[in-house]
Amino acid sequence: MADKSSGPAELTEAQQAAIEALLENGILPAKAKALALQYDPELITDQIEYAQSQMSTDSSGKQKIANPAGFIIYTIENALPVPSSFLTSRKKRQLDAE
């Protein structure tokens, strides 16, 4: 029986949530895991939510971004900031807890 402690570290809950959100947006599993390990997973979730708000369809019903997965990856890898005025689900949870 192999000792699991010698393998790669277990993912945190935040990292797992970030990976799931990335997968739901069309990012391949290997890339999703790499992003979640390299960047702040809570920030990734915030950036995905903000990116989704920017990708919504315009008045004619056409999606603004042709490659949503690529846009999300670009947002994360280039550390594009989430405006402080944008209410993410994480901020909502913090406000509800207060």
Q: Which residues contact 87 (CB under 8 A, 6 or more apart)?
A: none
Residue 19 in this model has a pLDDT that exceeds 70: yes
- Joined tokens for residue 51: 């990116």
Does 3 reside within a domain?
no
* Domain region containing 35: 15-55+65-97
The total of structural domains in the chain comes to 1
What would the pLDDT profile of 78-94 be if each residue is shown by its tens digit? 999 999 999 999 888 88
CA distance 67 to 63: 10
Instruction: Tell how far CA 80 is from the center of its chain.
Output: 12
The whole-number pLDDT of residue 4 equals 44
Has residue 51 been placed in a domain?
A: yes
* Confidence bin at 45 (pLDDT 50/70/90): very high
- Other Cβ atoms within 10 Å of 36 Cβ, number: 24
Helix, strand, or coil (residue 66)? coil
pTM exceeds 0.85: no
